Amino acid sequence: MSPSSTLGPHVSVSPCLHIIPPPRPRVAVYGAGKGGQVLALMLGAVGLELDCFIDDRLEGPGILTWDRFHVGRPGVPLVCVVSDRQRRADLCDHAVYCGHPLAAVVCPGAVVSPGARISAGAYVEPGAVVGAFAVIGAGAQLSQGAVVCHHSKVGAYAHLAPRAVLGSSVEIGAMAFVGTGAAVETGCKVGEGAMVGPGVHLDENLDPWRMVLRGGVKGKVKRRAVDEGFVGSGG
């Protein structure tokens, strides 16, 4: 049979090939505030599609409470952008326990060098740089312009603010924070839950759950003494 069909002496119709692209993987964004909205805009550029926002504190189109999400979207992966690092760790651990894997997002414009490792749930914003053999832990966040030099490690659920810079072989503990424009010198260790304030130049180790601010002011970081249990809320 001819590959074309003839309709009269002068009209012919050739068969068309319709290519339907495969569906993009869908992910949920935990936290419908400003940070979550920015992340949602980035998903398409990395081959993902927004499934919904999860937030118990905000209402609106496309925003589900945790209970509605968990029941209605079984197994859908998520990225959590809740700013409270201890709370983000609790929420992500609970999500994984409930069968929702964590998705990593590396935005366009970020540079990830060969040999670097980006763990599940990590969020690397545009302009961030991750050096060779650096490790970004689960649920960690690197804001715009943050730099992690080679062989450095950023712990789970830690956060590097815009333009924070880590020298080589630096270790940032889980849930720690490095403020805007701060610099941590080569080989230094920042303990779990510790905080390096904005603009600080740290050239020594910082103990867990301690903070250092500009001018050398030091103090303690408040830590929840008792596990408050799961609170299904983003924000």
Q: Are 67 and 232 in contact (CB under 8 A)?
A: yes
Q: Are 223 and 211 in contact (CB under 8 A)?
A: no
List of residues 6+ apart from 100 with CB closer than 8 A = 28, 70, 75, 76, 77, 78
Q: What is the number of domains present in the chain? A: 2
- pLDDT at site 231: 41
Q: Let me know whether 41 and 143 are in one domain.
A: no
Q: Let me know whether 30 and 70 are in one domain.
A: yes
- pLDDT at site 129: 98
Q: Is residue 212 part of a domain?
A: yes
Q: Let me know whether 111 and 130 are in one domain.
A: yes
Using alpha carbons, select from 105, 89, 180 the residue that is nearest to residue 143: 180
Residue 122 has pLDDT above 80, yes or no: yes
Q: Let me know whether 121 and 205 are in one domain.
A: yes
Domain of residue 115, residue span: 104-217
- pLDDT at site 234: 41
Q: Is residue 36 part of a domain?
A: yes
Mean pLDDT, rounded, for 82-104: 95
Strand 26-30 relative to strand 129-130: parallel, antiparallel, unpaired? Answer: unpaired
Q: Which segment of 36-45, 146-155, 158-167 scores lowest on mean pLDDT?
A: 36-45
Q: Report the sign of the C-alpha dihedral through residues 186, 194, 117, 35, in that order.
A: negative
CATH number, position 108? 2.160.10.10
Q: In angstroms, how far apart are the furthest CA atoms of the chain? A: 90
Residue 197 has pLDDT above 50, yes or no: yes
Q: Is residue 57 part of a domain?
A: yes
Pairwise CA distance, residues 116 & 166, whole Å = 14
Q: Which of 51, 82, 97 is the endpoint of a domain?
A: 97
Residue 184: enclosing H or E segment and its boundaries?
strand 183-184
- pLDDT at site 194: 96
- pLDDT at site 213: 94
Residue 5 has pLDDT above 50, yes or no: no
Residue 50 bridge partners (DSSP): 27
Higher-confidence residue of 223 and 228: namely 223
Q: Let me know whether 75 and 109 are in one domain.
A: no
CATH number, position 40? 3.40.50.20
The per-residue pLDDT for range 70-86, each reduced to its tens digit, is 999 999 999 999 999 99
The per-residue pLDDT for range 171-185, each reduced to its tens digit, is 999 999 999 999 999
Q: Let me know whether 53 and 128 are in one domain.
A: no
DSSP state of 226: S
Residue 32 has pLDDT above 90, yes or no: yes
Q: State the virtual CA torsion across 179, 182, 185, 191 in degrees, nearest 10.
A: -20
Mean pLDDT, rounded, for 106-118: 96
- pLDDT at site 218: 83
Q: Is residue 196 part of a domain?
A: yes
Q: Let me know whether 173 and 141 are in one domain.
A: yes
Q: Let me know whether 112 and 204 are in one domain.
A: yes
Q: Are 91 and 81 in contact (CB under 8 A)?
A: no
pLDDT confidence of 66, banded at 50, 70, 90?
Answer: very high
Residue 224 has pLDDT above 70, yes or no: no
Q: Is residue 222 part of a domain?
A: no
Q: Is residue 31 part of a domain?
A: yes
pLDDT confidence of 219, banded at 50, 70, 90?
Answer: confident
Q: Are 138 and 158 in contact (CB under 8 A)?
A: no
Q: Is residue 43 part of a domain?
A: yes
